[in-house]
Structure 1
Amino acid sequence: MKNINYLNYFFVGVPIFLVACGILTNESSGNLIGSGLLFLILTGLFQVIFGIKMLMDDPKDTNLQHYIKGVGFFFALWLINGTVLNFEIIYYILVPIPIVLAIFFSMITYKKAHK
C-alpha cells in the first residue's frame, strides 16, 4: 500500500512541478505547462484504476465506495450534460470535481499506507 501512496505522490506531483516550472521560467511556447496539464489525464487514470482495484480488494470500505460513486457521478453528469441538457453552468460545476476527487483519493491512500 505504501508503494501506491508513493506512486500517487508522483502522479500528483509531476503536473504541479511541470506547471510551476513553466510559470517560473516564463516559457513562451507553453510546452511545460501543456505537458503538465496533459499529465493530469494520466493522474486521473491512475487514480481511477487503483481506486477500482482497491475497492475490489476491500469492498466494504465506505471511503472507496464514495470515491467510485463520485467518479461515476462526474462522468455521468458530463455525459448527460453533453448530450441531453447542455447547460453551461454545469460545466462550471464539473471543473472542481476532479480536484476534489484527487484530494480525496490521496487522503484514502495516505490513511491506508499509514495504518
Structure 2
Amino acid sequence: MKNLNYLNYFFVGTPILLILTGTLFAKSLGALIGFGILFLILTGVFQIITGISLLLDQPKDKLLQVYISLVVLFFLTFTFNLNILKSDILYFILIPVPPILAIYFSVLIYTKQQS
C-alpha cells in the first residue's frame, strides 16, 4: 500500500508541477500547461482503475464503495447531461467533482497505508 501511495503522489503531483512550471515560464514552456492538463486524464484513469481493483480485493470496505459509487454517479450525470439535458449550469456544477474525488481517493489511500 505504501508503493501505491507514492504512485498516487506521482500521478497527482506531476500535472500540478507541469502546470505551475508552464505558468511561471509561459514564454518558452507554455506547452507544459497542455501536457499537465493531458496528464490529468492519466491521473483519473489511474485512480479509477486502482479504486476498482482495491474494491475487488476488499468488497466490504464502505469508503471504497462510496468512492466508486460517486465516480459512477459522476459519469452517469455527465453522460445524461451531454445527451439529454444539455444544461450549462450542470456542467459548471460538475467541474469541481473530479478534483474532489481525486482528493478523497488520495486521503483514502493515505489512511489505508497508515493502518
* TM-score above 0.5: yes
User: What secondary structure, in the 3-state scheme, does the structure 1 residue paired with 2:50 have?
Assistant: helix
Q: Which residue of 2 aligns with 1:111?
A: 111
1:29 Cα deviation after fit: 6.3
State TM-score, norm by structure 2: 0.97
**CA shift at 1:27, angstroms?**
3.0
2:22 and 2:29 in contact (8 A); partners too? no
Please name the residue that 2:5 is paired with. Answer: 5
TM-score, normalisation: structure 1: 0.97
Question: What is the rounded CA distance, in whole Å, between the counterparts of 2:83 and 2:22 in structure 1?
Answer: 35
Is 72-81 or 18-27 further displaced after alignment? Answer: 18-27
The answer to whether the aligner puts 1:83 opposite 2:83 as a matched pair is yes
| CA deviation string 1:37-86 (max 9, x = no partner) | 00000000000000000000001111100000110011000100011111
Taking the aligned partners of 2:60 and 2:6, their CA distance within structure 1 comes to 24
Q: Do the aligned partners of residues 60 and 51 (structure 1) sit closer, same or farther apart at CA in structure 2, a change above 3 Å counting? A: same
List per-residue Cα deviations over 1:88-109 (Å, max 9, x = no partner). 1000011000010000000010
Larger mean CA deviation between 29-38 and 69-78 belongs to 29-38
Determine the structure 1 residue equivalent to 2:94.
Answer: 94
Percent sequence identity is: 54
Q: Runs (4+) of structure 1 moved beyond 4 Å? A: none
Q: Is the 8 A contact 2:14 2:36 kept in 1?
A: yes
> Which structure has the highest helix share of the two?
2
Distance of 1:20 and 1:72 partners within structure 2: 30
Q: Which amino acid aligns with 2:101?
A: L
Once the two structures are TM-superposed, the CA of residue 25 in structure 1 deviates from its matched residue by: 1.0
The answer for the alignment partner of 1:41 in structure 2 is 41
Q: Aligned ranges for residues 55-70 of structure 1 at < 5 Å?
A: 55-70=55-70
Provide the residue aligned with 2:54 in structure 1.
54
Runs (5+) with no aligned partner, structure 1:
none
Aligned length: 115
